[in-house]
Amino acid sequence: MDETYVRVGGKWKYLFRAVDKHGQLIDFMLSDRRNTRAAYRFLRKALKTMITYPPSSITTDKLASYPKAIQRLQSEGLLSKDAEHRTSKFLNNVIEADHCALKRVIRPTRGF
């Protein structure tokens, strides 16, 4: 999972997105902020989408909000305690490459 900055209706928003290991979109969410609360809301939403196939690992960038949100989900029982949180620039390459494709589509239209 990762987030990127996009322009929606003339205002800048954070677009949180999660993809599976095959690059298929799991879920997305627009947010005004990129804090722990927003990361928690998005992860909870994405986990509800994946209820039949819970993740064994979550790969993110090194944003400080993600570990706090993941720990909260684990303490609430919404995410398995065995789920591994990986923070690697190179393991997150699937979503980073997908951001480039997204930006290439929306750049000519100057946002959504």
Residue 27 φ then ψ, to 5°: -165, 165
* Mean pLDDT for the stretch of residues 83-90: 83
- Examine residue 112 and state whether it is found in any structural domain, yes or no: no
43: nearest Cα among 83, 13, 85, 1: 1
Residue type, 30: L
pTM equals 0.79
- Examine residue 111 and state whether it is found in any structural domain, yes or no: no
- Examine residue 39 and state whether it is found in any structural domain, yes or no: yes
The strand pair at 57-60 and 84-87 is best described as parallel
Task: Identify the three-state secondary structure at position 33.
Answer: coil
Number of domains in the chain: 1
- Give the position of tokens 């879920």: 27
Q: For residues 57 and 84, is the Cβ–Cβ distance under 8 A? A: yes
**Owning domain of residue 83:** 2-106
Question: CATH number for the domain including 81?
Answer: 3.30.420.10
- Examine residue 53 and state whether it is found in any structural domain, yes or no: yes
Span 41-80, pLDDT tens digits: 999 999 999 988 889 999 888 889 999 999 999 999 999 9
